[in-house]
Amino acid sequence: MSLRLTILLFFALFSSSAQQPDFTWGSPINRNPRLLQHMEVVGVDKDGFFATHATDNQTVLEHFNPQNDRLWTTVLLPRSPEGAATKFHSVQMIKGKLYLISSGLKDGQTLVYAQEIRHNGNYDPEIVTLARGKYGKKIHIATAQDEAALIVVLSGDNQQTITSALLTNKLEPRWTQTLTSGGDMQEVLVNSDGTAYLLTKSLPAAPSTSAFFLYRLKAKSGRYREVALGDSDYRPLKAKITASPSGETIVTGYIIPSSYVASQNPEPIGTFYYRFQNGKLDDPVVAFSPFREDFIQSYKSFKPDYDSSQRLRYLELDRVVPMDDGGVILIGEVNFKLDQGNTRLQHNNDVVIVRLHKDGSQAYICSTNKLQATTSENELMHSYFATSIDDTLKIIYLYFEYAGTAGGAPAGKLRSTPKTTVLVTVAPDGSKEILPLEGTHQQEAEDFYISPKSAYQISPKDFIILGVGPDYYKYGRMRFN
């Protein structure tokens, strides 16, 4: 193959990976979206999709048709089987059925309830109890990828009992298990057969060799076994659990040196990776990998601020994306709150991306350097959207500080507005292309923008997205080509 042809093919492939998504929008809803909180899509069916938001201490459920136009809206009124008011937790769609999930106290225990909401907005009269436990300050709910199983986990503060209840997708109980952990409940994962995994974080004073614990609960009985996660040289600081496409359980996150004091929120200096094969906790693939020094030097010298030497201490691990090759992509965001006069601002800044091979070694580390600063209440502008398509990472966010960008200035003309929407394409080798996102402002007012964190995946390349105007909002579809 000639050198010229090779070069042309390379640019054709990269250009294809950076193609802009297409947008279609429904009709606007004349309500100021800044008065609403927690706007999110909760499920999709053949008749459209469902979304919720909170306002005036109430949660509202909306139903939209496939053309993204709203069909109806109703205020949710969660109740116990005895008719007492309960605390709203979430709306879950399981095998096409919509359930209102809530919790309440009874006889010194926390109980979690579910009530079906029919697709016309009416309630099914039956209210079922999903789980009950002595401690219920935190409630974690997870479904298997094929929605064959559901698990509800109740937990309290550190060193309190954790109660787990496994159910079928018809909300029939399978087992309940209680265990005592020396740490704080973090995440739960459940497989199709009902095997469940709980991830807990130990107290900062715990040895670095047991900074986290992973509990495996058997599918048939709920009997459990735990394994400590950590190292004598490195302490896992932040962690998430996921499943690979082949069904292996992966725990990964950020590390600090074991000599650091975890309670002082030090900067992470690398990643860790555990891959448990064939449902077994013995002999996992384990790796601890420091960040590349050239990345750290470039990142910290790029954008000095009031605490440039320690800016990564605000790096929060947001997402872990499992890849087809058995590796993962860790996506974290530098975010913190800062008082400015009488206003507390929420800063959601740079996104740091680390890709790990299936052996846990680092394939690449890079960042996309952004600037977001809004009042804490204005959650519509916060954060970003990320997805993996054909081994390429796509990131969308609002705002962009591009002068002197270490990661490359965006091509094309950016408007002088803080609501510019940006598309970042990260290739499998870690190289990036940064462009203004097209299609979000066409035929719209300058103050219309999308809320990236609201994106809801309905297929590998299709997403429902929320659009926000000055006194209205509307839902639409975003499709990557």
Residue 441's pLDDT is 53
3-state helix vs strand vs coil in the chain, percent to 5: 10, 55, 35
For residue 179, name the pLDDT band (cuts at 50, 70, 90).
very high
Element (H, E) at 184: strand 183-190
Cα–Cα distances (Å) from 364 to 80, 189, 353, 409, in that order, read 50, 27, 8, 20
Residue 18's pLDDT is 54
Q: Average pLDDT of 131-144?
A: 94
Residue 85's pLDDT is 96
For residue 237, name the pLDDT band (cuts at 50, 70, 90).
very high
Determine how many CB atoms are found less than 10 A away from the CB of residue 262.
19
For residue 419, name the pLDDT band (cuts at 50, 70, 90).
low
Predicted TM-score (pTM) of this structure: 0.89
Please give the Cα distance from 421 to 267 (Å, whole number): 29
Backbone angles phi, psi at 26, to 5 degrees: -90, -175
- Please tell me the least confidently modeled range out of 187-191, 284-288, 315-319, 341-345: 341-345
Provide the pairing of β-strand 212-217 with 37-45: unpaired
Residue 206's pLDDT is 94
For residue 380, name the pLDDT band (cuts at 50, 70, 90).
low
Burial class (CB in 10 A: 0-12, 13-18, 19+), 386: buried
Task: Give the tokens for residue 31.
Answer: 């309500």
Residue 402 in this model has a pLDDT that exceeds 90: no
Which amino acid does the sequence have at 208? Answer: S
Higher-pLDDT residue of 308, 106: 106
Q: Average pLDDT of 389-418?
A: 59
Give the pLDDT confidence of 248-279 residue by residue, as tens digits. 999 999 999 999 988 888 999 999 999 999 88
Which DSSP category does 79 fall into? B
Which amino acid does the sequence have at 393? Answer: L
> Residue 332 in contact with residue 315, Cβ under 8 Å?
yes
Backbone angles phi, psi at 80, to 5 degrees: -85, 170
Task: Count CA atoms within 13 Å of residue 122 on its CB side.
Answer: 3
Higher-pLDDT residue of 18, 393: 393
Residue 221 in this model has a pLDDT that exceeds 90: yes
Nearest Cα residue to 51 out of 481, 342, 467, 385: 467
**Distance from the Cα of residue 411 to its chain's centroid:** 29
Higher-pLDDT residue of 420, 463: 463
Task: Give the tokens for residue 83.
Answer: 């008719």
Q: Which residues of 116-144 are buried (b: 16+ CB within 10 A; e: fewer)?
A: bbebebeeeeebbbbbbbebbebbbbbbb
Please give the Cα distance from 178 to 161 (Å, whole number): 7
Give the pLDDT confidence of 442-480 residue by residue, as tens digits. 445 567 888 888 899 999 999 999 998 889 999 999 999
Give the pLDDT confidence of 71-103 residue by residue, as tens digits. 999 999 999 999 999 999 999 999 999 999 999
Give the pLDDT confidence of 17-26 residue by residue, as tens digits. 457 899 999 9
